[in-house]
Amino acid sequence: MFFKEVYLEQPHLWHWEPRSRAVPQRLVRGTQAGNGPSSQTNCICPCGIGCPDPGIDKCRLQRRKLRRASEDKANNKTGEESRGYAELLAAAKKVDSVPVAICSEKEVWAEYSVSTDTITLFRKADNHQENLVVAEAKKLDTDGLVNFIIVNEVRYITEYDQVTAVGLFHSEVKTHLLLFANRTSKDYYELKEKLGALAPEFTGKLLFVLINGALKSNSRSLGYFGLKSKDLPRVGIYDGDSDMKWLLPEGDITVERVRDFCKSFLQGELKDVKQAGETKAKTEL
């Protein structure tokens, strides 16, 4: 069964596993009359050809083939028997915000460069594919998979903390649009919703990040932009490639202003604009 990929705001998880293979195996009771062993000789033969003598080369060869097929089946378990299957389902219940699907179609595997049992997290915010190859995992348990999902989960707008920082800074998208806001403020969730809706327009170009200014642990991030909690809400851009940062001038934080701010950065118009935290201005935006 192949579950079609669903394009949702949140990341989603696939478990790739091989389609089950039926191993032909049957027991045939045969009686040989005439040549060879006595006509009274009966044979229970695993090769299914009803040979009179289980010791003959032909029968031994067939038994060896069946034994190998049985070993292959044991090493390539599918469905509920697959390594990581039960743990994945348990992890999915704990992180129910991430849709989970199982894919056994090898043609689809090839499209995503998957060649063996793999648990893959697809992120829509930066078009990233994070793979966990089952055979290479020394330990595969439910808590480990929950951690794998949470650490690598990047949404269209991701709230910054020590856990999500890992996924954010390992992303190939190095530019962040930052919304600094106090969770206790009345416009916190409204701003989060507005910018979350805008974020898909800049998929693969900017990651939208929400920083709760009410947390002491985020005071360093605010200070890097020359901000304090009382100055919020504000919007800024941080470019990891150039290590440069800018603030959207004070005023209403609207979708239109933030969109123009992002476009100004992408078009290179912010290079000569005053950087956030600088005391001496270069140019006003």
The answer to whether residues 251 and 167 belong to one domain is yes
Would you say residue 104 lies in a domain?
A: yes
The pLDDT, as a whole number, for residue 150 is 85
Distance in angstroms (rounded) separating the CA atoms of residues 57 and 37: 15
Long-range contacts of the stretch 63-66 (C-beta < 8 A, 24+): 66/23, 66/25
User: Would the pLDDT of 55 be above 90?
Assistant: no
| Rama region for 206: left / alpha / beta (φ>0; ψ in -120 to 50; rest) | beta
User: Would the pLDDT of 51 be above 90?
Assistant: no
Percent of the chain with pLDDT over 90: 47
Would you say residue 282 lies in a domain?
A: no
The pLDDT, as a whole number, for residue 152 is 84
CB 160 within 8 A of CB 219: no
> What is the domain extent for residue 115?
12-20+79-152
**21: amino acid identity, one letter:** R
Whole-model pTM: value is 0.63
Our count of domains for the chain comes to: 3
The answer to whether residues 256 and 186 belong to one domain is yes
β-partners of residue 234 are: 180
| Six token digits for residue 134 | 């089952």
The answer to whether residues 187 and 237 belong to one domain is yes
CB 78 within 8 A of CB 95: no
The answer to whether residues 225 and 238 belong to one domain is yes
Q: Could you give phi then psi for residue 80, rounded to 5 degrees?
A: -65, -20
What mean pLDDT, rounded, does the chain reach? 78
The answer to whether residues 121 and 175 belong to one domain is no
Name the band, by pLDDT with cuts 50, 70 and 90, for residue 131: very high
CB 207 within 8 A of CB 176: yes
pLDDT tens for each residue of 149-201: 888 888 899 999 988 898 898 898 999 999 999 999 999 999 999 999 999 99
Average pLDDT over residues 247-255: 96
